[in-house]
Structure 1
Amino acid sequence: MTIPFIAVEGPIGVGKTTLSRSIAESQNFQLLKEIVEENPFLSKFYDDIEAWSFQTEMFFLCNRYKQLSDIKKEILSSNTPVVADYHVFKNLIFAKRTLEQNEYEKYEEIYKILTRDMPAPNIIVYLYASQETLMKRIALRGREFEKNMDPAYLTQLANDYEMFINIFEEANPHIPVLRFNGDHLDFVNKKEDMEYVLTSIVEVIQGVQER
């Protein structure tokens, strides 16, 4: 039987952590949460992306490497299902958008070394939404370091995610990818929307477990 390892992904503000927490609570999965606010470079990054992108991305990469290492040793080894509110591939999405070419090439080499032999999710939940919806949700959660976020940057990021997830899906046909439109489904505030999303995910989980 395959042990489910779900990654919930999508652009900033789309509801990844909320959905991941609901999956963990309803299915008794171990929750792996992305470290965000602990990043000391993040507020500087949104003030000056060009100056602080490499430091920001390296901090995230090293922390995600440590989290995945712990998951490999302590949780998946004991056959415990996991849901994470990120997939490590997001590092390349952000780095490709923010780093100069020479920096990106160095970063990509480090990424490949650190992620080699790391556990990989076998179910992807991809959330997406319009810039308007994303900006509203970002404002509602009130993170101080996100107040200076450029809406154009968010739009570019959402487009990058869409392109990347399409490529990922083509390259990994054996990994189910569930897509949910955040403009049409407000699973944060509407119970019936959350129930619909969770029901859809449970059906895929059952299929993966039967492999």
Structure 2
Amino acid sequence: MTEVPFIAIEGPIGIGKTSLAKRLSDHFNFYLLKEIVEENPFLGKFYDDIDEWSFQTEMFFLCNRFKQLEDIETKYLSQRKPVVADYHISKNMIFAKRTLQADKFEKYEKIYHILTADMPVPNMMIYLHASLDTILNRIQMRGREIEQNIKASYLAQLAEDYEAYMNEFEVMHPDIPVIRINGDEMDFVQYEDDLTKIIEQVQKQLKSFEIVSK
């Protein structure tokens, strides 16, 4: 039986994950799974004081992402309906390692592994990356109020963490294709040709799933 496509899009804050997920969802007629962000009641406080609010923020994200993945497993993937998500739940560990103090991270890590032990794993990854200037410009352009206090140093470190994570991911999961998109060179929101190039790369990988776009 052919594997059901489950595409996850990852990258730093503001890089365009949701925008790309929406466009791929529309093109391929896949279910769109969007992460819960602004609904997190601790996020604004977190950006103001990371040390004080990191545990509450990360636990909220973890529990909500667990529930979302549980739902798509039941309602979509098990019914052989393809899914494209604007996140991969393992991103939680990227943020938690960076923001949590050692004692709280130890507790968080145990909970994370319990919750994600039998969660569905994406079988294709799209990794969006860009320079700090591009990330800052895109955050400013989308104008989310809660993101205006994010420190540039935090975003720079996060971009480095993502790069290290994706390099490790490719080593640990050589069977899962990773499509890397350089946001400094491609702007799929502004330029249709850039979006077409990405769609072509995804289509090439989807041939193994025997899925044809509408």
TM-score (norm 1): 0.98
Shift of 1:208: 3.9
1:183 aligns with 2:184: yes
Shift of 1:26: 0.2
Q: Distance in 2 between matches of 1:129 and 1:97?
A: 19
Moved runs in structure 1, 4+ residues, more than 6 A? none
Are the counterparts in 2 of residues 3 and 209 from structure 1 also a CA contact under 8 Å? no
Q: Distance in 1 between matches of 2:154 and 2:207?
A: 37
Shift of 1:209: 3.9
Q: Distance in 1 between matches of 2:210 and 2:100?
A: 39
Q: Deviations over 1:22-58 (max 9, x none)?
A: 1100000000001000000000000000000000000
Q: Secondary structure at the match of 1:126?
A: strand
Q: Distance in 1 between matches of 2:128 and 2:207?
A: 21
Q: 2:168 aligns to what?
A: 167
Are the counterparts in 2 of residues 8 and 87 from structure 1 also a CA contact under 8 Å? yes
Q: Distance in 2 between matches of 1:157 and 1:209?
A: 36
Instruction: Determine what percentage of the aligned residue pairs are the same residue.
Output: 57
5+ residue gaps, structure 2 = none
Q: Distance in 2 between matches of 1:98 and 1:50?
A: 7
Q: Distance in 1 between matches of 2:210 and 2:8?
A: 16
Q: 1:123 aligns to what?
A: 124
Q: Distance in 1 between matches of 2:207 and 2:47?
A: 41
Match for 1:124: what amino acid? Answer: M
Map 1:30-41; keep pairs closer than 5 Å: 30-41=31-42
Shift of 1:207: 2.2
Map 1:53-132; keep pairs closer than 5 Å: 53-132=54-133
Q: 2:151 aligns to what?
A: 150
1:24 aligns with 2:25: yes
Q: Distance in 1 between matches of 2:200 and 2:22?
A: 15
Q: Deviations over 1:96-137 (max 9, x none)?
A: 000011111110100000001111100000000000000000
Q: Secondary structure at the match of 1:114?
A: helix
Shift of 1:206: 1.3
5+ residue gaps, structure 1 = none
Q: Distance in 1 between matches of 2:207 and 2:87?
A: 21
Structure 1 stretch displaced more, 165-174 or 198-207: 198-207
Match for 2:39: what amino acid? Answer: E
The alignment covers a number of residue pairs equal to: 210
Match for 1:143: what amino acid? Answer: R
